[in-house]
Structure 1
Amino acid sequence: MQAVDERVVQTPRLGDPIRVRRRRPNRMPLLLTMPALVLLAGLLAYPLARMLVLSFQDMQLRNLFAGTSPPWVGFENYKEILTDGVFWSVVRRTAIFTVVSVAISVVLGMAVALLMRRVSKPVRLAMMVAMMFVWAIPQLVSAQIFKWMVDADFGVVNYMIDQIPGVDFANHSWFADPIQGWAVITTLVVWAGIPFLAITLNAGLTQVPRELTEAATVDGAGPWQTLRHITLPILRPLIIIVTTLSVIWNFGLFTQVWVVRDSKPEQEYQTLATYAFTQAFGRNEYSLGSAISVITVLLMLGVMAFYVRQMFMIGDVD
């Protein structure tokens, strides 16, 4: 007769203290990101520290020529900025542009990614190659291209719209109206941002189990219901990450505005980045420009902290 291996499972009795084993924190994500953090700290520590010190001083052009130390003014630069209505209008304009451009970019990027899952493999490969070319174009070059396309005298956009019967778009200036001008800038930013979003989200869609979508289809769910209740919840961490990155990139908008407005952006086209540059190097108010940059960094710290937190959470889940 074979021996039977009997195992006694002890269950806690009523009133006995329950011992809970605490899960040790996973330090692997921190260890993996440490080299990049050290490199970034080495590259950015001195410029950020110098900018912070300069924001508490009154650096003028004469100090640069004479090589003298600028006087300390404490929080006077910050007080001047925070009580300036123009600065807050620039902050509001930058925030509105960021929200609108990121929302459009993420929605269109998701639409392109879903389209890539439904086309044949050669077409998908052609789409990825085309988007990689778009992504590889420098911002300066793409801004110059868009500037030429909407030119009032030789722009191809005006020419094509002018061909519509009953529409007169000859010599139309897109930047005379700030709404139309920002529509052009937003289109440029969205066009340049879709490749990253579409390719990244397409990679995420490959991780959605086909069994779940097939089961939902068998149960009578339509494409929209499958997307809403299965695909989007699975892609939620990835969508949060790409959205946060887009917010960080678009909030620091500089090159596109600077190029399309011929290095002299009007007040209606100022963003935080161009406003800080104009104050520092256009008016020789270097300390004031540094203070604006410091405030911009502080505004972005919350977004960057949220992004880093999401990265560590995904690392813990994995």
Structure 2
Amino acid sequence: MSADTTTPAKVPPPRQAPPPRTLGAPRRKRTARGTGIPWLLLAPCLLILALVMGYPLVRLVTLSFQSFGQSQLWGFKPAEWVGFDNFSGILGDSEFWGVVVRTIVFAAGSVIFTMVAGMALALLQQRVSGWMKTLINIVLVASWGMPVIVATTVFKWLFDTDYGVFNAVLSKLPGVDMVGHNWFASGPQGLLVIMLLVVWGAVPFVVITLSAGLTQVPQELEEAARLDGAGAWGVFRYVTLPILKPIIVMLTTLSVIWDMGVFPQVFVMRGGHPESDFQLLSTYSYDRAFVVNDYGQGSAIALVTVVLLLGVVAVYMRQMLQIGEVE
């Protein structure tokens, strides 16, 4: 056999990748520009908020440290700085603390009823037909869009002493006689009616938001939980509830803020003159400012309410940060 005298083909050496370009400076420029664009887009909204809410808030803080009444309002006397006298006056008043406790109980009851009813209706919507779900959404949006004054008038008629539909329906039950019953004869019963009014107006927003959140719950996780032997409560507790936790925290915080500041429902339901058993922080601050004409003390009460609500917001932010860290 003759030897192979063919010249082997030369294999070119592998090409080296070009050194990476230095992208440090352009990247910093894009980062700086990208950081400034959101603030530029938010600038008009922040400016409007500063103009609309900035002056009232500054004025509220200023009045809370002044002795300001009718004489100062009409310019007959200059406002007198009294330091923390307005705060010490309300914090040392047992009536104020009674109003604070009543407001907290009222807000807590309203939030609990709102969240429970909203979650129940949202879960119910997942199990009804399409046309029924559409009908429920139409009713929810209609009730949500109803003005507060109209809704309050309707509830006043429903719970009227002489012509109330609610009393007539309850009187149909065996052994129940509610004809002529006055729901507003006592503070607890009257506030319960107002609480139902607040819950009725707040439930649609909660239902619509939770229904949107339920669409994001993976069906595979629910089916896996059922295969592992979990019942309906187990699936809801260990699968649905953890996924909805951020939405529930947000809705609960917003509900607390709204229910702590309830004003028109109480004011209109009691004909513009809420009795002492019906006073909440919002109406109590209004009465001190515009009925007693002590604007300094009314502003101090409003400022204390703002501080309480800021505490709720702080708890909300802490919860959201913890949820973000877990994720």
TM-score range, shorter chain: 0.7 to 0.9
1:312 offset after TM fit, Å?
A: 7.0
Correspondence 1:133 to 2:130: no
1:262 offset after TM fit, Å?
A: 1.1
Q: Which residue of 2 aligns with 1:88?
A: 97
1:40 offset after TM fit, Å?
A: 2.4
Other structure's SS at 1:168 match: coil
C-alpha separation in 2, matches of 1:76 and 1:302: 23
**CA deviation string 1:228-261 (max 9, x = no partner):** 0000001101100000000000010111111111
Q: Which residue of 2 aligns with 1:232?
A: 241
1:165 offset after TM fit, Å?
A: 4.0
**Equivalent runs, 1:239-250 vs 2, <5 Å:** 239-250=248-259
Correspondence 1:273 to 2:276: no
RMSD between aligned residues: 2.7
C-alpha separation in 2, matches of 1:105 and 1:52: 33
1:135 offset after TM fit, Å?
A: 0.5
Q: Which residue of 1 aligns with 2:176?
A: 167
C-alpha separation in 2, matches of 1:243 and 1:67: 47
Change (3 A) 1:35 1:110: farther
Q: Which residue of 2 aligns with 1:285?
A: 294
Other structure's SS at 1:152 match: coil
Other structure's SS at 1:66 match: coil
| Number of residue pairs matched by the alignment | 297
C-alpha separation in 2, matches of 1:208 and 1:54: 50
C-alpha separation in 2, matches of 1:135 and 1:180: 24
Q: Is the 8 A contact 2:144 2:201 kept in 1?
A: yes
Q: Which residue of 1 aligns with 2:266?
A: 257
1:307 offset after TM fit, Å?
A: 3.6
1:216 offset after TM fit, Å?
A: 1.3
Q: Is the 8 A contact 1:245 1:307 kept in 2?
A: no
1:314 offset after TM fit, Å?
A: 7.2
Q: TM-score, normalised by structure 2?
A: 0.84
Other structure's SS at 1:118 match: coil
Instruction: Indicate which of 119, 124, 145 corresponds to 2:133.
Output: 124
1:42 offset after TM fit, Å?
A: 2.6
Q: Which residue of 2 aligns with 1:13?
A: none
C-alpha separation in 2, matches of 1:274 and 1:220: 52
- Matched letter for residue 103 of structure 1: I
**CA deviation string 1:181-240 (max 9, x = no partner):** 121111111111110101100000000011111111222211110000000001101100
Q: Which residue of 2 aligns with 1:79?
A: 88
1:66 offset after TM fit, Å?
A: 3.2
C-alpha separation in 2, matches of 1:141 and 1:309: 38
Instruction: Indicate which of 111, 123, 133 corresponds to 1:114.
Output: 123
1:309 offset after TM fit, Å?
A: 5.5
**CA deviation string 1:247-293 (max 9, x = no partner):** 00001011111111111111111000000000101111111101100
C-alpha separation in 2, matches of 1:307 and 1:286: 31
Fraction of identical pairs, as percent? 47
1:159 offset after TM fit, Å?
A: 1.9
**Equivalent runs, 1:1-318 vs 2, <5 Å:** 31=39, 36-66=45-75, 68-308=77-317
Change (3 A) 1:102 1:45: same
Change (3 A) 1:187 1:115: same
Q: Which runs of 5+ in 1 are unaligned?
A: 5-23
C-alpha separation in 2, matches of 1:38 and 1:313: 31
C-alpha separation in 1, matches of 2:46 and 2:177: 55
1:118 offset after TM fit, Å?
A: 0.8
- Kindly name which structure, 1 or 2, has the bigger radius of gyration based on alpha carbons: 2
1:121 offset after TM fit, Å?
A: 1.2
C-alpha separation in 2, matches of 1:190 and 1:287: 33
C-alpha separation in 2, matches of 1:34 and 1:223: 48
Change (3 A) 1:121 1:52: same
Other structure's SS at 2:81 match: coil
1:300 offset after TM fit, Å?
A: 0.7
